[in-house]
Amino acid sequence: MRTLLPLLLGVLFFTGCTQFSAVKDLATSVEGLISGTDNAEPPKELEPLEPTVAMNLLEAHSRQDGDRLWGHETGLEISAGPVVAGDKLLMGTSNAEIIAVSIVDGALLWKASLTSEMLALPRVAHNVVVVRTSDGRLVGLDLQHGGLKWSHERSIPPLSVRSQGSPTIVGDLVLDGFGGGKLIALSLQDGRVVWETTAATPRGRSEVERLVELDADPLVEDETIFITGFQAGITAVNLPDGEILWRQNGAYSSHGMAPGPHAFFLSDTNSDVARFDSANGVEKWKQTALHQRRLTVPAMVRSFVVVGDFEGYLHALSADDGRLVGRLEVDDEPILATPVYHDNTLFIYSSSGVLAAIGIN
């Protein structure tokens, strides 16, 4: 059982995500367990850093003053969320349910049954809650009472990555990626397919080499969708009709990207951070000093890019050239949730439950 934390914690969970290891890394780890050796590539040790950006730590619950707002014992095992939706918090449970509780006091407002466990965060727009379940189904629910509005089912390939990527809602379109490199756009109101495209093409000879999964959240800037995923490279897709604008196969991520001015940022499968030109996908810089440190999705903070790592460190990089310009130890446990920047404050949540508000000077 889990206790719901205050509103800010719900916001932080909204952007949280879990990173996936590549299949070949998993195979290497299993081999190491059998043989008694560890052949996995170790994380890079941090080099001494003379910071040019000051980061100051303040642990907090309430965004304004750090006070605890309320706590409520749900009696449920939470598998996804919570996500803030107006006056409600939405959460998935391990019992294949989605629940809505009051943001004021945590009281249960409604509960809806799903066909399987919900691992991805729900998305909400125009009074519709969009949920992706582990059996490959997308459903639309009414935000007010949880009633089913529509359902869209996709078959899951025999060999696939267990995705925790969430759909993205833009206007009246629901965007989501699936196995085999398929990207689809559904109508938010009735779930009909507006268009479908192959955003990533399987390559290689073996089944593992040809495994492609668009398991990162689609990123939308203006009329362009940027999508990545396991062994999928990065693809830009035209939002109105699904036309492929460009592809590049040099990098991929299973947990998402961050937008910037005429660019986007990605911590790839090796935890190398890179900046790409959004017009053509050209890599502008790559920072390898955090190699294999299991980084979070980057967050853009003014002229910096920030990422958390597996030892509880927060790193700041120059958005212009990727130089490391700041570092702060938030906790001694991993930071998994994407950093959230709001009102000149950066909010961080670690796997041990440390919640921090950070000012960057």
Longest Cα separation, the chain: 57
Two tokens, residue 302 = 């003014």
104 within 8 A of 165, measured Cβ to Cβ: no
Residues near 141 by beta carbon (within 8 Å), at least 6 away in sequence: 98, 112, 128, 129, 130, 131, 147, 148, 149
For residue 172, give the DSSP letter.
T
**What does the pLDDT look like over 257-299, one tens digit per residue?**
999 999 999 999 999 999 999 999 999 999 999 999 999 999 9
- What separation in angstroms does the CA of 257 have from each of 48, 165, 226, 299, 309? 27, 12, 8, 8, 16
Comparing C-alpha atoms, which of 58, 78, 50 is closest to residue 359? 58
pTM for this prediction: 0.82
Q: Which residues of the chain have pLDDT under 50?
A: 1-37, 60
Give the CA count within 13 Å in the CB-facing half-sphere of 94.
8
Angle, alpha carbons 70-72-78 (nearest 5°): 120
Q: Is 57 left (phi over 0), alpha (psi -120 to 50) or beta?
A: beta
Domains observed in the chain: 3-151+160-360 (2.130.10.10)
Closest CA to 71 of 42, 104, 94, 40: 104
Give per-residue pLDDT as tens, 193-210.
999 999 998 887 888 888
